[in-house]
Amino acid sequence: MPRALHLAARPAGTPKDSDFETRERAAAPLEDGQFRVAVKFLSIDPAMRVWMSEAKSYWPPVPLGDVMRAQGIGEITESKNPKFPVGQWVSAMTGVQDEYVGDGKGAHVFDAKRLPHPGWALSVFGATGMTAYFGLTDIGQAKAGEVLVVSAAAGAVGSSAVQIGKALGMKTVVGIAGGPDKCKFITDTLGADAAIDYKNDDVGKALKEHCPDGIDVYFDNVGGDILDEVLKRLRLKARIVLCGGISQYNAEGATRGPANYLSMISSRARMEGFVIIDYMHRAEEAIAAMAPWAAAGKLKGKLDVVDGLDNFPAALRRVYSGANFGKQLVKLT
Ligand SMILES: NC(=O)c1ccc[n+]([C@@H]2O[C@H](COP(=O)([O-])OP(=O)(O)OC[C@H]3O[C@@H](n4cnc5c(N)ncnc54)[C@H](OP(=O)(O)O)[C@@H]3O)[C@@H](O)[C@H]2O)c1
């Protein structure tokens, strides 16, 4: 019988196992236009914590009792929709469940054999890679010769942002992450010019050392203290790409805003938020740019896979503690 994880409670702080409830249901027969998917991998996204809360966001909160929202990929096992034939891999908002029935809305078929791993459809060539691509090019207006700083740089979005920055010919690309292993990965594997370990280094001092003339583009995944340090070192006409603020997602009180924002006046800087769903109609444009970089070894992906639907809450907690190393996925069997 298909199993699903339902939202049982709105979390206080970091999500707990008891915020979810596993339920089984009988598989319903398909209607015309529908197809059934055996879900193979689920994407873990830091924004899930926001979707679980009552906070106003780009999507409504997941209603209590509903299947937890998630993007997933899997193989079509039964179909009454000719555009979604049996055997095809598909990406959709499947929810946290091992079986998904769709009608094609918001679903995309893809050729898993052409990818290094099917999980690339949820990472490098999926939402996180596209977030990095459009965040840097469209919001950040990143140009060759400029200085780029990326936070959460060993993660899914951040690792793509670092590599895309280098592929675009940016002069200096600095990644910020927690711990020496992630920092080594950022320089040695992703090709950044420098990495800053925010858990052990003085971020302000290190930014001054690696970006002596200031920062043109800051790709912000975390907010908090790191954003404040970057704000002290903006170049004229700098752009801050407001992608995420993971340091604030589990805050139980008010979200902390940037203290040093007045520096944006003198540096004539711009800070702009964006949500990748607004760019999905341009997905082919991003793939056309990124596929040659991947083929040339300039765009690599790292996956971090946790097994089993029941481990979804634990997998979700990994992205807030920094235990994940690469794009966090849950594999369903
Ligand atoms: N705007 C959009 O459309 C969009 C789309 C996708 C993702 N995002 C955002 O992009 C960011 C990264 O998402 P992702 O999926 O790529 O996750 P990820 O980077 O693969 O994983 C999250 C990482 O955040 C870091 N982190 C956690 N707490 C932190 C803290 N307090 N301070 C600094 N770093 C912290 C951890 O790395 P360390 O070990 O380095 O601490 C962790 O590995 C998130 O903020 C997410 O919400 C936005």
Mean pLDDT, to the nearest integer, of 238-256?
94
CB 217, CB 271: distance < 8 Å: no
Residue 175: its pLDDT value, please?
Answer: 99
Ligand 1: residue whose CA is nearest its atom 45? 244
Residue 19: its pLDDT value, please?
Answer: 98
Torsional class of 129: left (φ above 0), alpha (ψ -120 to 50), beta (otherwise) = alpha
87 CA to middle of ligand 1, Å?
33
113-172 tens-digit pLDDT: 999 999 999 999 999 999 999 999 999 999 999 999 999 999 999 999 999 999 999 999
Per the prediction, the chain carries an average pLDDT of: 97
Mean pLDDT, to the nearest integer, of 66-95?
98
184-242 tens-digit pLDDT: 999 999 999 999 999 999 999 999 999 999 999 999 999 999 999 999 999 999 999 99
320-332 tens-digit pLDDT: 999 999 999 999 9
26 CA to middle of ligand 1, Å?
36
For a substitution probing ligand 1, which of 14, 164, 222 has the most ligand atoms within 8 Å of its CB? 222
35 CA to middle of ligand 1, Å?
33
CB 131, CB 157: distance < 8 Å: yes
Tell me the angle at which helices 127-134 and 283-295 cross, rounded to the nearest 10 degrees: 100
326 CA to middle of ligand 1, Å?
10
State both tokens at 15: 């999500």
67 CA to middle of ligand 1, Å?
23
Q: How many residues are recorded in the chain?
A: 333
pLDDT at position 183 over 90: yes
Angle at 194 between CA 189 and CA 199, to 5 degrees: 95
Residue 56: its pLDDT value, please?
Answer: 86
Ligand 1: residue whose CA is nearest its atom 9? 244
Which ranges of 185-282 would DSSP assign to H, the alpha helix?
203-210, 224-231, 263-266
3-state secondary structure of 276: helix
Residue 333: its pLDDT value, please?
Answer: 82
Ligand 1: residue whose CA is nearest its atom 11? 221
CB 19, CB 10: distance < 8 Å: yes
Residue 11: its pLDDT value, please?
Answer: 96
Strand arrangement, sheet containing 215-220: 194-197, 172-177, 147-150, 215-220, 234-242, 270-273
Write out residues with Cβ below 6 Å of ligand 1: 45-47, 127-128, 131, 152, 154-158, 177-178, 182, 221-222, 224, 243-247, 274-276, 319-320, 322, 324, 327-328
CB 198, CB 247: distance < 8 Å: no
Ligand 1: residue whose CA is nearest its atom 19? 155
Mean pLDDT, to the nearest integer, of 260-286?
97
The DSSP code sequence of 23-57 is EE-PPPPPPTT-EEEEEEEEE--TTHHHHHSS---
- What global pTM score does this model have? 0.98
Residue 240: its pLDDT value, please?
Answer: 98
- Whole-number percent of the chain with pLDDT over 90: 98
Residue 191: its pLDDT value, please?
Answer: 98
222 CA to middle of ligand 1, Å?
6
Ligand 1: residue whose CA is nearest its atom 42? 322
pLDDT confidence bin for 253, thresholds 50/70/90: confident
